[in-house]
Amino acid sequence: MYIPGMEFCPKMSCWTARTVLLVTFVVLLIHQGSQHSVASASPTPFEDYSEEKKGPVPVNESEIGELVNVSRLKEDLQKGLDQLKNDYMKHLSLRSASGSIENLQVDFEGETYTLQEIAQIGRKGPQLIVVNLSSFPTVMKDVLKALNDSGMGLNPQQDGTTIFIPVPKVTKEYRESLAKNAKTLFQKFKDHSRDIQNKYIREVKKKEKEVSSDLAHSVQQQIHSMAELYVSEGEKVMITKQNELLGKD
């Protein structure tokens, strides 16, 4: 092999020439290797390294059933959704008739009653509802709380054992107030669904030592996905109700 400069060193030993040749060869290998590494580290123009958006985890009820009671989980989530629909139907109406007030639920000393079970409800003119609690005065505080928390935009006024409830006029502001209350009730439902989700995830965590970590992790994700399905359905119900209250198609 010809090595540049050798003709100027006639006295160079064979051993020295081999050393120079070996060093040159090694340098060339290192240079080529570094170029290959840089090329490999650079992505091609067609590669996309951005994080992919992950969709909801598919729900496998059989797999979830290995660690929790699926029927009970679905029942708990459905109850919350049904309660949201019931609250919208009873409490968020443009017709503030006494019928909506009659079915208002009142919690008293650990029991739940409808207002018509504990009070006499009537009208004093078209714009005023009268609630008489003379036969059950001790429940007054709880009735006022139920009325204020009902989401119907009411402004109850107490006079002794009687509550006067002016019927709100159906104005733009009143519609917007009801639509806002629809969102408030949805948020309560959403929080309730999260509580149910976390309850069942805690059950899974208690069994982590008894099953594979992959199964435990998968079931937790699926429980979250199942809860999200019900929350998503509740959001659709809320949007429909808000459109109804605001007079939108």
Residue 18 scores a pLDDT above 60: no
Q: Has residue 52 got a pLDDT over 50? A: no
Segment 52-62 shows an average pLDDT of 72
- What does the domain layout of the chain look like in residue ranges? 61-92+171-246, 95-166
Decide if pLDDT at 84 tops 80: yes
pLDDT of the residue at 77: 97
Amino acid at site 57: V
Residue-wise pLDDT for 139-189, tens only, equals 999 999 999 887 777 889 999 999 999 887 778 888 898 899 999 999 999
Does the structure show a pLDDT above 80 at 249? no
Neighbours of 209 (CB within 10 A): 8
- Per-residue pLDDT for 4 more than 60? no
Dihedral-angle region of residue 106 (phi above 0 means left; psi in -120 to 50 means alpha; beta otherwise): beta
pLDDT band at 205 (very low <50, low <70, confident <90, very high): very high
Task: Check if the beta carbon of residue 219 is closer than 8 Å to that of residue 178.
Answer: no
- Residue 249 CA to residue 247 CA, distance in Å, equals 7
* Average of per-residue pLDDT across 184-203: 96
Give the gyration radius of the chain's Cα atoms.
36
Stronger pLDDT, 76 or 21, i.e. the higher one: 76
Is 45's pLDDT higher than 50? no
Q: What is the mean pLDDT of residues 191-204?
A: 96
Whether the model pTM is above 0.85 = no
CATH code for the domain defined by 95-166:
3.30.1360.40
Domain 61-92+171-246 superfamily per CATH? Ribosome-recycling factor (1.10.132.20)
* Predicted confidence (pLDDT) per residue in 101-121, tens digit: 888 889 999 999 999 999 999
The percent of residues above 70 in pLDDT, for the chain, comes to: 75
Quickly tell me which residue has 């340098």 as its tokens.
Answer: 27
Q: Which one has a higher pLDDT value, 144 or 92?
A: 144
